Amino acid sequence: MTLKLPKELSRIAARLRRGVSWRLFRALSKPWAATLADAILLFAYRAVAALGPKRKKVAPKVTIVVPVYNVREFLPLCLHSVRAQRYPNLEVIVIDDGSSDGSFELAASFDEIMKIRVLQKTNGGLGAARNTGFDRIESTDYLLFLDSDDALPLGSLWRYVRAAEANNVDFVVGPAKRMKGLSFRWRADARQFYSNQGSRATTFLSDPLAIRDVTAWNRLFRWDFWKKHELRFPEGVLYEDMAPMARAFCEAESFYVLNRAVYFWRVRTGENKSITQRLGEFENLRDRMQSLQKTRKVILSAIDSGQANGKNLLEFQLRVASIDLQLHLPFVGEGEKQYDDLLKETAKQLLGDCGPQFWKRVQGRFAPVLKQIVEN
């Protein structure tokens, strides 16, 4: 016999469960939890790395570019996660972007235990550091970017390379888990793309939901593909990976989508916040809006050349409306007038031609507010 609660009691019970889950999530996202999570992961990575690289006669060469800027507290976990991949044909290029906290010296100390090149440059931002890194590559088969406050789950490199070799694709992309303290969750913004059909070889025309994920750090590129299309990152701006990664989707004859996590993306919990966590700052909004405009131009150009179509543009607009603009909407009216004006202007430029059926598909709690902004 199953006991059924009255509807109102069921609603109350559901709210209580959600409340408990939220309180638990907040507790596990505190700085102390991040310290504990890092310690556990670091222990595991060191233990696995101690086994040494897996013995394999022939393995394609993978080069990992790691841009570094004042991340001394996170860098050991990042680099030990690379060692723990136990990949036998691996080179790591660390670009120190003018750190002042000893990050350069810490990275350089790893040359005793792994194949690593550590280079210094004047501070120029993430895009410039990545560009400097791959410009220093002499020869390789594959290229991967890893941010220095993040980490690779065990076995990620092998999953990347096996998929690339077995399917002869231009790059392999996989889902990331959002690492905040002891809480590890799937990235909500790209979840639909990865859960849509499972692992698969595909194209941008066949898989327009790919535009939900335009980060540079969760994909392995065939080096010949990267060089052929002369892919580079804009310098001196945030959200520098949006337009180049959109272009990579368009240019690829095919890419492979993994359905297992290949990346741990850190959300910082202490005082040392990443710049992309400071959404209320005008510079943050400005750079995101500029990147969205550039990404739209990439898609429109791809439509002209037959690499994309109207469905790709529609999914881009749904992404803009459901994710990018709504991240900044809570800060409208809280500070500078230029912040509010820029958001409203960009929203109208990117979504002004969207009709009622489009707005029915927009997700997020601020969707009605955004619709009103665009239509007024």
Residue 348 sits in the same domain as residue 256? no
Tens of pLDDT, residues 264-310: 999 988 666 556 668 999 999 999 999 999 999 999 999 999 999 99
Q: Are residues 299 and 255 in the same domain?
A: no
Do 330 and 225 share a structural domain?
no
Tokens linked to 92:
């790591």
Question: Same domain, yes or no, for 155 and 260?
Answer: yes
85 and 216 in a common domain: yes
pTM score, two decimals? 0.91
Structurally, how many domains does the chain consist of? 2
- Give the lowest-confidence range in 141-150, 195-204, 310-319: 195-204
What is the per-residue pLDDT for 30?
84
Dihedral angle of Cα 299, 236, 219, 82, to the nearest 10 degrees: 180
Residue 222 lies in a domain: yes
Which residues, listed in sequence order, are joined to residue 90 by a DSSP beta bridge? 62
Average pLDDT over residues 250-267: 96
Instruction: Let me know whether 295 and 165 are in one domain.
Output: no
Cβ atoms within 10 A of the Cβ of 158, count? 15
Residue 120 has pLDDT above 90, yes or no: yes
Q: How confident is the model at residue 22 (pLDDT cuts 50, 70, 90)?
A: low
CATH number at residue 111: 3.90.550.10
What is the total residue count of the chain?
376
For residue 9, what pLDDT is reported? Answer: 46
- Name the band, by pLDDT with cuts 50, 70 and 90, for residue 1: very low
What is the domain range of residue 113?
A: 33-266
Same domain, yes or no: 70 and 101:
yes
Over residues 74-102, the pLDDT tens digits come to 999 999 999 999 999 999 999 999 999 99
The mean pLDDT value of the chain amounts to 92
**Domain assignment of residue 177, yes or no:** yes
Considering the domain boundaries, does residue 1 fall inside one?
A: no
With the CA atoms of 122, 107, 79 and 98 taken in that order, what torsion angle do they form, in degrees rounded to the nearest 10? -20
- Report which of 35, 269, 179 is spatially closest to residue 187, judged by C-alpha positions: 179
Q: Is residue 356 part of a domain?
A: yes
Taking the C-alpha atoms of residue 316 and residue 246, their distance in angstroms, rounded to an integer, is 10
Q: What's residue 2's pLDDT?
A: 43
**Do 256 and 307 have their domain in common?**
no
pLDDT at residue 86, as a whole number: 97
Give me the sheet containing 255-257, strands edge to edge.
Answer: 116-120, 90-96, 62-68, 142-145, 219-222, 171-173, 255-257, 200-202
How far is Cα 289 from Cα 333, in angstroms, rounded to an integer? 18
